[in-house]
Amino acid sequence: MSTAINSVPFAEPAYLRGLPSPYFRQTHLDFQKRCRAFMNEHFIPYALEWETQGTVPEHVWHTFNKHNMLIPNLKSPLPVSWLKKLGINDILGVPVEEWDYLHTAIWVDERARTGISGPGSSLSPGFAYGIPPILSFGSVALQEKFLPSMLTGQVRACIAITEPHAGSDVANIQTTATKTADKAYYLVNGTKKWITNAIWADYATMAVRTGGPGSGPGGISLLVVPLKNHPGVTMRRLQVSGQMAGGTTYIELDDARVPAENLVGEEGQGMKYIMTNFNHERLLIAMGVTRQARVALSTAVEYAMKREAFGKTLMDQPVVRHRLAKCGADLESLQAWLYEFVYQLNNMTKAEADDKLGGPTAALKAKAGMVFRDCAETAVLVFGGNGYTRTGQGELVEKIYRDVMGARIPGGSEDVMLDLSIRQLVKGFKKQAARSRL
């Protein structure tokens, strides 16, 4: 399949346009070509149709799984020992032990060339968000129970945190998990809402309250909860504005019996586990929407060069050029920040990254959503009535615009992210100042 680079202005990041980059080594450049060929063959041409239908065919999951192309959703560095134990040695020729977050950025970027997030969201949540807490905090027994089938794609997982009355306010979740008299099971009761991919998932890594009423953040735990056909679990799809193919789900739990051995880590530590998982989620969102913004803007540029109004093309109208240029400047600034951030992540220990990059991750995620909003809105305005129509030549930009709020809310809403980022920076400053006075 073709690995050709799109020459339309703003259609590709600078390193793919042949400009020098300090970040990408040959391993990254080679992987980008193989990844683009794979996506062009198995994903990109069909994504718009899948989004319209609201479902990605099951064979797509199996194709990605067969080529180890679900593994890039995991945190980097990858869990090499587990992967090799299961016979997973490389990802399109990149040895798993050499994989880094720049490879991840390329993988997310190439998949997001669809411009829409729904089809990708049907493949990602389990590996990206459901499995990492088990890898990072699960006991050996829990890992042995679930990782072989999850990492090899035999079963699907998701992450279930959000509830009807608790979104970014994670500490306020109300779903309870109470141990049975013999301590062998938890009885889980409550609801989870806006859970991406759950309708197809076998298990959810679920935030539950084990500490009783009023226990706050210290009363939250994580459980691996069976979903499909499990007694006490009812699921239905939600109709949301965008991400039609993402399988957004409402989950009801009525005395669902979950083995006590499915506890992730320790009781009462769930809030800490969730917070460490959020940085990865926010980074993946930022990576994806940066490319979505790029698709929206470049599509608008291409349209403006051929669409005529008032006797000349839209591109010949100064007001249109100004709008496109402003979005382009914001987009390229965001892209540069994203690659710098990923480089930093690759060259810091996990402890350093957790300490210093939590706030910047939140800010990056928020900024990516804002730039995406501006680029998508500009695309719709340039397309005019066509951009407001679900079919025809404006279909793609209309669907892209529907995804905007799906980028700005999940993983922490924009205002919460901005507040978190500045609080983390001030906290770090005060800590450093206190050390300097010693």
| pLDDT level of residue 412 (50, 70, 90 thresholds) | confident
| pLDDT level of residue 397 (50, 70, 90 thresholds) | very high
Mean pLDDT of 51-62: 94
Q: How far apart are CA 389 and CA 383, in angstroms?
A: 10
Of the candidate ranges 53-67, 319-333, 381-395, the one whose mean pLDDT is the lowest: 381-395
The highest-level CATH class for domain 271-437 is mainly alpha
3-state helix, strand, coil in the chain (%, to 5): 60, 15, 30
Q: How far apart are CA 289 and CA 107, in angstroms?
A: 13
Annotated active-site residue 281? The verdict is: yes
Q: Cα Rg for the chain, rounded, in angstroms? A: 22
Alpha helices in 236-317 (DSSP H): 270-304
Q: How far apart are CA 432 and CA 403, in angstroms?
A: 40
Alpha helices in 310-413 (DSSP H): 318-346, 350-356, 358-383, 395-402, 404-408
Q: What is the pLDDT of residue 244?
A: 85
Mean pLDDT of the chain: 94
Query: Which residues face 308 on adjacent strands?
Result: 313
User: 252: which residues sit within 8 A by CB, 6+ positions away?
Assistant: 191, 233, 234, 235
C-alpha of 36 from chain center: 19
Q: What does DSSP say about strands 203-209 and 220-226: parallel, antiparallel, or unpaired?
A: antiparallel
* 3 state DSSP class of 40: helix
Q: Is 413 left (phi over 0), alpha (psi -120 to 50) or beta?
A: beta
Q: What percent of the chain has pLDDT over 90?
A: 81
Q: Name the amino acid, one letter, at 68.
A: N
Q: Name the amino acid, one letter, at 360.
A: P
Q: How does pLDDT run across 190-222, given as a tens digit for each residue?
A: 999 999 999 999 999 999 999 988 888 899 999
Q: How far apart are CA 88 and CA 411, in angstroms?
A: 29
CATH 1.10.10.10 fits 14-151, yes or no: no
Asked if 242 and 404 count as a contact pair (C-beta separation under 8 A), the reply is yes
51, 281, 377, 398: the active-site residue: 281
Q: What is the DSSP string of 49-87?
A: HHHHHT---HHHHHHHHHTT-SGGGS-SS--HHHHHHTT
| pLDDT level of residue 354 (50, 70, 90 thresholds) | confident
pLDDT for residue 262 is more than 90: yes
pLDDT for residue 144 is more than 70: yes
| pLDDT level of residue 1 (50, 70, 90 thresholds) | low
Asked if 201 and 157 count as a contact pair (C-beta separation under 8 A), the reply is yes
Q: Where are the domains of the chain?
A: 14-151, 157-268, 271-437
Q: How does pLDDT run across 151-196, given as a tens digit for each residue?
A: 999 999 999 999 998 777 788 899 999 999 999 999 999 999 999 9
Q: What is the pLDDT of residue 170?
A: 82
Provide the b/e sequence for 374-390 (b: ≥16 CB within 10 Å). bbbbbbbebbeebbeee
Q: What backbone phi and psi angles, to 5 degrees, belong to 362?
A: -65, -45
| Homologous superfamily, domain 157-268 | Butyryl-CoA Dehydrogenase, subunit A, domain 2 (2.40.110.10)
pLDDT for residue 355 is more than 70: yes
pLDDT for residue 386 is more than 90: no
Nearest residue to 286 via CA among 105, 422, 24: 105
pLDDT for residue 51 is more than 80: yes
Query: Which residues face 178 on adjacent strands?
Result: 187
Q: What is the pLDDT of residue 308?
A: 84
Mean pLDDT of 246-251: 92
